């Protein structure tokens, strides 16, 4: 788009300058030729007077005398009343012939002679060139200015669309909360509005999908785990006969296959989402902390974990989980807030800790306790826990005096976290 705008801008400028230059060249050439014609006519009239005065003084008209009266590119011819011819020409007018473009003027003298003065077309063309040279230079300058102005205009006009393209790329990666700027260009603003609506719709659909995955995971895996524990207990009972134990073992294997099927179905739903990409959790944590550092200037933030730590998960949900944990620490914690990212090989751990005393346990990870208890510490944490579950990870409250919440995410080498 930018190249086409620049080409159109420069092309229009060159066309305008060319048309203007051609018209101006013809007008300048006509004006200079008219001026030179008048000069030649005045010069030949003056030559006739000089020749008459010399004849009255009985002085001869010689080529040397006429040479002194020559200008550049001129030829003088004098024919007296008796037909005697005397000529003189400038060095650049070596012969006495006249081109049809030369300027020629004749003047008769009082005694019946004739004075002829001619000026070559090269002199006229040179003066036309001298007159048009500033115009050509101005045209080149205008073309350069048109290139610069076209580049600036194209950059200004294409910037909204570049911003929208970058925003669309971020939305495609799962960052539905990306800020889409407003632009004064109506077309760009219409595209931006459509992109905002699409991002909102996709965010709603992704949230519903995560909630469904979290709910389905809980509703399906919990009874399967309970049945597994009961079957294992029955197998270990002394009263269980070997035949019954064998049957229970086969049932336990079938239950294991059922559990694997449920896991594959839930994980397959996540794996085929378009926003699942490889991201650097350490870099994402630093970026998130930088945003919160500008919001909460009175708090001190420390980030531990400079080495890249990659996971194959959506960018947006992980960012929202970190935002929820940092907001919880800023709003309800105290002291320095530290974020630590470590690669535990089988999983990736992100710890968000502050120096406030821990006054709650794992119960804050369940929504039913959000009734204002725990001094508001659990605000947003339960939602972050459900979001982590939908990604195949989970939140864990560390059993330490200071408030420390860990986000555990599956490493790239595994599809999900183990128990």
Model confidence at 374, in pLDDT bands (50, 70, 90)? very low
100 contact partners, CB below 8 Å, separation of at least 6? none
Q: Are 409 and 318 in contact (CB under 8 A)?
A: yes
Highest-confidence range of 120-129, 159-168, 402-411, by mean pLDDT? 402-411
Model confidence at 407, in pLDDT bands (50, 70, 90)? very high
pLDDT above 50 (res 414): no
Q: What is the pLDDT of residue 339?
A: 92
Pairing of strands 347-357, 402-410: antiparallel
Beta bridge pairs of residue 259: none
24 contact partners, CB below 8 Å, separation of at least 6? 132, 135
Q: What is the pLDDT of residue 379?
A: 47
* Average pLDDT estimate for 236-253: 85
pLDDT above 90 (res 352): yes
* Average pLDDT estimate for 237-249: 85
- Tally the C-alpha atoms within 13 A of residue 238's C-alpha that lie toward its C-beta: 0
The phi, psi pair for 409, rounded to 5°, reads -125, 145
Q: What is the pLDDT of residue 83?
A: 85
* Average pLDDT estimate for 362-385: 60
Of 124 and 396, the structure prediction assigns the larger pLDDT to: 396
The 3-state DSSP class for residue 397 equals strand
């Amino acid at each position: 788009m930018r190249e086409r705008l620049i080409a159109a801008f420069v092309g229009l400028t060159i066309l305008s300058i060319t048309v203007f230059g051609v018209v101006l060249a013809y007008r300048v050439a006509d004006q200079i030729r008219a001026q030179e014609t008048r000069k030649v006519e005045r010069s030949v009239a003056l030559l006739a007077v000089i020749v008459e005065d010399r004849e009255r003084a009985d002085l001869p008209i010689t080529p040397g005398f006429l040479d002194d009266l020559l200008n550049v590119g001129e030829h003088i011819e004098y024919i007296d009343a008796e037909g005697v011819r005397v000529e003189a020409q400038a060095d650049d007018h070596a012969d006495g012939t006249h081109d049809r473009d030369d300027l020629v003027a004749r003047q008769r003298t009082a005694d019946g002679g004739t004075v002829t003065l001619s000026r070559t077309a090269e002199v006229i063309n040179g003066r036309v060139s001298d007159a048009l040279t500033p115009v050509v230079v101005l045209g080149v300058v205008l073309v350069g200015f048109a290139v610069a102005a076209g580049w600036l205009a194209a950059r200004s006009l294409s910037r909204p669309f570049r911003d929208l393209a970058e925003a669309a790329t971020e939305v495609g990666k799962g960052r539905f909360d990306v800020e889409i700027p407003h632009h004064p260009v109506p077309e760009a603003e219409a595209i931006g509005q459509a992109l905002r609506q699409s991002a909102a719709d996709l965010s709603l659909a992704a949230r519903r999908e995560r909630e469904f995955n979290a709910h389905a995971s809980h509703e399906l895996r919990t009874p399967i785990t309970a049945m597994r524990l009961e079957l294992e207990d029955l197998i270990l009972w002394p009263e269980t006969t070997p035949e019954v134990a064998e049957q229970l073992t086969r049932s336990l294997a079938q239950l294991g296959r059922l559990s694997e099927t449920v896991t594959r179905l839930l994980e397959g739903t996540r794996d085929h989402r378009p926003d699942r990409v490889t991201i650097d959790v350490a870099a994402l944590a630093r970026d998130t902390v930088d945003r919160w550092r500008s919001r909460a200037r009175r708090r001190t933030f420390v980030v531990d974990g400079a080495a890249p730590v990659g996971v194959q998960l959506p960018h947006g949900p992980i960012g929202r989980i970190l935002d929820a944990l940092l907001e919880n620490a800023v709003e309800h914690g105290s002291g320095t807030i530290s974020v630590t990212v470590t690669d535990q090989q089988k999983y990736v751990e992100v710890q968000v800790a502050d120096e406030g005393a821990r006054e709650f346990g794992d119960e804050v990870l369940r929504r039913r306790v959000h009734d204002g208890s725990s001094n508001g510490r659990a605000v947003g944490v339960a939602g972050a826990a459900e979001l982590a579950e939908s990604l195949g990870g989970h939140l864990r409250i560390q059993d330490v005096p200071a408030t420390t919440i860990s986000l555990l995410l599956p490493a790239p080498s595994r599809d999900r976290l183990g128990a």
